[in-house]
């Protein structure tokens, strides 16, 4: 399974890097990228990424402490919307979003487990 992970500069990306350092990641391929803020993510971008991967993992600041105030919330709503479209169309790909602070990767691990569950 190929997973693309996109994290915001402030919290998500550092957390993703920590997560990526763990040896036993359950996916065949993981690519990690940074973005200034999750608020810049659009549905179009999500779809484009999913055309070349099996799942997209977004990591950003917690909802109530987004560095740019509404970035995380915006990404959360878009994630929800895309997932409902994918579900309606019976497409087994998925987007997940994790809200993290740069040190803590537990949320990322938890969220990425959803991908494995879905694959099964």
13 or 54: CB nearest other proteins = 54
Q: What is the spatial distance between Cα 97 and Cα 95, in angstroms, rounded to a whole number? A: 7
Cα separations (Å) of 110 from 12, 22, 43, 73, 97?
14, 14, 23, 19, 10
3 or 105: CB nearest other proteins = 3
Minimum CB separation of residue 115 from other proteins in Å reads: 16
Q: What are the residues binding other proteins (CB under 8 A)?
A: 43-44, 47-48, 50-51, 85-86, 88-91, 93
Q: What is the spatial distance between Cα 11 and Cα 91, in angstroms, rounded to a whole number? A: 30
65 or 92: CB nearest other proteins = 92
Q: What is the spatial distance between Cα 5 and Cα 60, in angstroms, rounded to a whole number? A: 11
Q: Which strands make up the sheet holding 94-99, listed edge to edge?
A: 29-35, 2-8, 55-60, 94-99
48 or 65: CB nearest other proteins = 48
Minimum CB separation of residue 45 from other proteins in Å reads: 10
Minimum CB separation of residue 109 from other proteins in Å reads: 27
Residue 25 neighbours by CB under 8 Å, 6+ apart: 19
Minimum CB separation of residue 89 from other proteins in Å reads: 5
């Amino acid at each position: 399974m190929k997973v693309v992970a996109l994290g915001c500069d402030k919290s998500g990306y550092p957390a993703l890097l920590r997560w990526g350092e763990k040896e036993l990641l359950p996916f065949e391929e993981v690519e990690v990228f940074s973005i200034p803020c999750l608020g810049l993510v659009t549905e179009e971008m999500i779809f484009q990424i999913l055309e070349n991967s099996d799942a997209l993992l977004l990591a950003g600041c917690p909802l109530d402490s987004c560095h740019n105030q509404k970035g995380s919330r915006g990404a959360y709503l878009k994630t929800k919307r895309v997932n409902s479209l994918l579900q309606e169309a019976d497409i087994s790909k998925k987007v997940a979003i994790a809200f993290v602070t740069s040190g803590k990767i537990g949320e990322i691990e938890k969220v990425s487990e959803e991908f494995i569950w879905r694959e099964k």
